Structure 1
Amino acid sequence: RRLKDDSIQFSTVFDLSFMELKHELKLCFLYLSVFPEDYEIDVEQLVRLLVAEGFIQEDEEMEDVARSYIKELIDRSLMEAVRIERGKVMS
């Protein structure tokens, strides 16, 4: 019974985290579904993919915007930082 309660609680937290995202971040998060579960992707590769696929529409430096989107997804626990070097998320 406890496992079911934990699943419901996780689902609620996930739903709240996802629903609070602005539209562009939701699209970036959903794009991650093209990768297998627990797949480790290099952050700079993901930045290039998000820009190339047209997910970044801001007027600022597109790569910087993509990095900020990735950071926000990590901060909201929707993505996990696996490798960090010198304070910078690498994958």
Structure 2
Amino acid sequence: MSYWVELKNIEELKKEMAFIKLLGIAILLALIAMYEWPKIEPNQKKEKAAFVILSLFAGGMLAMVLFFPEIPGPNKWMVTIFKPLGDLLEE
């Protein structure tokens, strides 16, 4: 019986560690934003929008890899997308 209790505790610990890692990612993104945001000129609205969108996209990708490690990463996506183009250019 203690084996199952320990196994349950291990699974709970893994979930807690994943959320701690997610919190670390959020803190890291916030620190990067705090460092970079003042360097962007106030009239550069498009640059600020791009910074926010890319930061959120990167944070979302990191969270996906953290919670779903079995999904293929962006590297495989690029191979899937550009392999037909590369084959076409070789001909």
Shorter chain as normaliser: what TM range?
A: 0.3 to 0.5
Larger Rg: 2
User: Which of the pair is proportionally richer in strand?
Assistant: 1
Larger % of helix: which? 2
For normalisation by structure 2, the TM-score amounts to 0.38
